[in-house]
Structures are given as structure tokens and as C-alpha cells.
Amino acid sequence: MAKYSRLEVAEVMDRTGMVPLFYHPDAALGKKVLKACYDGGARLLEFTARGDFAFEVFSELNKYALKELPGMILGVGSITDAGEASMFLQMGTNFVVTPSLREDIGLVCNRRKVLWSAGCGSLAEINKAEELGCEIIKLFPGSTYGPDFVKAIKGPQPWTSVMPTGGVSTDEDNLRAWFEAGVTCVGMGSKLISKEILETKGFERLQKKVVSILHSIAQIKKTL
């Protein structure tokens, strides 16, 4: 069962402005990544469940977060059907992120009052997701649409909350462009948790990168 309600998760997404994305089949390495992000100030992490037996790794990570990292909200991404979503809900995921708009996943998550973020690429999809109770829209792939798309959406629909994923970099100018366009938060994967960091086990560097990015986001948001 999820520890955090969908409104609590949405509030932390809005307040911190960043959701790190990560997948690796090694749970021990995953715990180190989780700890580095946590020590850097992140309070959310999306485990992109793309590999075989990913549910076993997620289960270990979520137990670790609940026991050792107070306030850390672990969710799951890359979910493609209701059955998969239900399995991770049984493991206590606090939010579910999908690459596309799936009504069946929305219904399953809403039944348990767990936040789900649907991958959308058009105004029609965004409206449909919001009608289905989606609090924060995942704009994916973000690099395809860019900040101008978000700005255009926010004009007629200022209530729409957007989280671009894919194409968001650690560069301050890139972050500023997204937040000035009106995003609620950004999803950040390999630009933050790179293959090189994982291979060299550069967890201290990862922690410092998280600190730096969260500081940049906070400073940018102060000017908006």
C-alpha cells in the first residue's frame, strides 16, 4: 500500500521541481543511487521498470526507502498496462508513470488513490488524462515538444500541471526555459544519473549534481 497520497506526491513534485529517473537490475547499486539522490535533497525517484524481474528490484528499493530514507517517495515508471500497474501497487509504489495515455492504468490507480502521470503529446490527450483524474501530465518525449509547447498549453489551460521527461538537461538555461514556460517539475534520467556514474560508482558526484540542480531550480522559481 502506498505510504503517500496522490496529493502529497503532487505537492512534493511541485515543491522540489525534479524527479530523478533510474533503472538498473542490481538492487544493491540501486540503493546507492537512491541514497545519493536523497542526500542531495531529492525526495522523489521514479524507478523505470524496463527489465526482467524489475518488480523484485523495486520491492527491495521501496523497502529500503521506507526503512532508511524518511520522506523519500519512490514511484515506478514505464508502466504499460493495468496488470503491471496493479503488481507495483501491491508493492507500495507511491506513483505510477506511463509512456502513453492508458485509461485502464488510470482507473486502477484512482481506485487506490495513487498518483498516476500519463504520457501525453497533444492537447486532446492532456484533456482526456485530466478528465480521468491525472494530476500531473508527463510530456514525453519532452525534446520533441519543447518549452514552447508547454507555454502554448498553459495559455488556455493554466490549471494543467506538466512534467517533461526526455530532453531535460542539467544546464541552467535549459531548466530556466522549461520553468519559465510553466512546468511543475522535470523528469531527469541519463542527463543526471549517467551510465558513466553507474559504471564508476560515482555516487558522491551524483549527490553533488542533485544538490546543484535542485539549487538551480529553486533559484529559477524565485524569479517567476
Q: For 77-127, write each residue's pLDDT tens digit.
A: 999 999 999 999 999 999 999 999 999 999 999 999 999 999 999 999 999
CATH of the domain at 166: 3.20.20.70
What's the structural domain count of the chain?
1
Q: For 121-133, write each residue's pLDDT tens digit.
A: 999 999 999 999 9
> Exposed, middle or buried, 7 (CB in 10 Å: 0-12/13-18/19+)?
exposed
Residue 156 lies in a domain: yes
At 35, the pLDDT band (50, 70, 90 cuts) reads very high
The rounded percent of the chain whose pLDDT value lies above 90 is 99
Q: Phi, psi at residue 222, to the nearest 5°?
A: -65, -25
Residue 166 lies in a domain: yes
Q: Is the pLDDT of residue 10 over 90?
A: yes
Q: For 64-83, write each residue's pLDDT tens digit.
A: 999 999 999 999 999 999 99
Report pLDDT for 137.
Answer: 98
Residue 18 lies in a domain: yes
The rounded percent of the chain whose pLDDT value lies above 70 is 100
Q: For 187-220, write each residue's pLDDT tens digit.
A: 999 999 999 999 999 999 999 999 999 999 999 9
Report pLDDT for 174.
Answer: 96
Q: Is the pLDDT of residue 167 over 90?
A: no
The dihedral sign for the CA sequence 156, 161, 164, 165:
negative
Q: Is the pLDDT of residue 134 over 90?
A: yes
Separation in Å, CA 134 to CA 61, 63, 164 = 25, 26, 15
Report pLDDT for 69.
Answer: 98
Burial 111-144 (b: 16+ CB within 10 A, else e): ebebbbbbbbbeeebbebbbebebbbbbbbebee
Residue 206 lies in a domain: yes
Residue 14 lies in a domain: yes
Residue 67 lies in a domain: yes
Residue 43 lies in a domain: yes
Q: Phi, psi at residue 176, to the nearest 5°?
A: -60, -40
Q: Is the pLDDT of residue 151 over 90?
A: yes
Residue 224 lies in a domain: no
Encoded amino acid at 189, one letter: G
Residue 158: which domain range? Answer: 6-217
Q: For 45-67, write each residue's pLDDT tens digit.
A: 999 999 899 999 999 999 999 99
